[in-house]
Amino acid sequence: MSEKSCNFAAAMKRYALIGRRLGHSWSQRWFEGLFRHLGLADHSYVLHEMASLDGLRQWVEHERIAGFNVTVPYKRDILPLLDGLDPVAREIGAVNCVTVEGGRLVGHNTDAPAFLSTISDLQLSSALILGTGGAAQAVAWALRQLGVEHLFVSRNPQGDRQVSYSALPSAHYPHPTLLVNATPVGMYPDIDTTPLPADFPFSTFNTQLVYDLIYNPSPTLLLRQAAAQGVPTRDGLAMLHRQAELGWELWNGKQKKED
């Protein structure tokens, strides 16, 4: 390789998304569009599917990754592999964005503030969150900032803040103004699946908005179920865009990175 080629390779800025299956993701097109808009021909963003997180640090070093996003199922599994966490990621216990700082991997959670920004226009009193994973914890963090009471819905409920899917709907639980799907159920390519039964009574459950964090497809089967009963719906595309913007700011040092 020539000296000129070596210098160009060193100047390249490589970013990525890691996860087990990434066929659903639109992150690459978002960042490639951003790079074109900013005239950053020396920047790239790739999708890197990983069967496990084994060898993560070696991959980051070998590919000279400048920063990366994390999606299911690794938002929690990655925590032991990181050198630091920002305060929000530490509180939530999940990471979806990692900065690479002098060889140190520092975890951040941009899902939570991104979700918060997309519900700031709503008047909420209570919420049900489908799922208990990293995305669900980010949603719960945002709801806590607004003082909104919430319960998690889980296949295996544990504790007094979780209820089972089989228990819904029930008069024993407050009728939520917001219902959020924070599971990957219904995401491409499994577009004919839904976390709730086809006859789930959204309208009689008094839900004012059904929000699905999934953006591919849009609408999901869950959102179509709700819309068929006249319930307003919202997909996760705006949240995707906002968390990408926040990640870009972190990678460029425009946000406080670590406590």
Confidence (pLDDT) at 160: 82
Distance CA 113, CA 138 (A): 8
- Quick: pLDDT tens for 148-158: 999 999 999 98
Percent of the chain with pLDDT over 90: 81
Q: What is the pTM of this model?
A: 0.92
For the cut 70, the answer to whether the pLDDT of residue 226 exceeds it is yes
Please check whether residue 108 is in contact with residue 68, taking contact to mean a CB–CB distance below 8 angstroms: no
Kindly indicate the confidence band of residue 159, based on its pLDDT and cuts at 50, 70 and 90.
confident
Confidence (pLDDT) at 207: 87
- Range of weakest confidence among 126-135, 159-168, 238-247: 159-168
Question: What structural domains and CATH numbers belong to the chain?
Answer: 3-109+240-251 (3.40.50.10860), 113-237 (3.40.50.720)
Smallest Cα–Cα separation from 82: which of 71, 73, 93, 72? Answer: 93
For the cut 70, the answer to whether the pLDDT of residue 126 exceeds it is yes
The secondary structure element, H or E, covering residue 237 is: helix 237-251
| Cα 164 from chain centroid (whole Å) | 23
B/e letters for 139-156, b = 16+ CB within 10 Å, e = fewer, are: bbbbbeeeebebbbbbee
- Quick: pLDDT tens for 27-75: 999 999 999 999 999 999 999 999 999 999 999 999 999 999 999 999 9
Confidence (pLDDT) at 11: 60
Percent of the chain with pLDDT over 70: 92
For the cut 70, the answer to whether the pLDDT of residue 171 exceeds it is no
- Range of weakest confidence among 103-107, 174-178, 219-223: 174-178
- Quick: pLDDT tens for 92-106: 999 999 999 999 999
Would you please indicate which residues are annotated as catalytic (active-site) residues? 75
Kindly indicate the confidence band of residue 203, based on its pLDDT and cuts at 50, 70 and 90.
confident
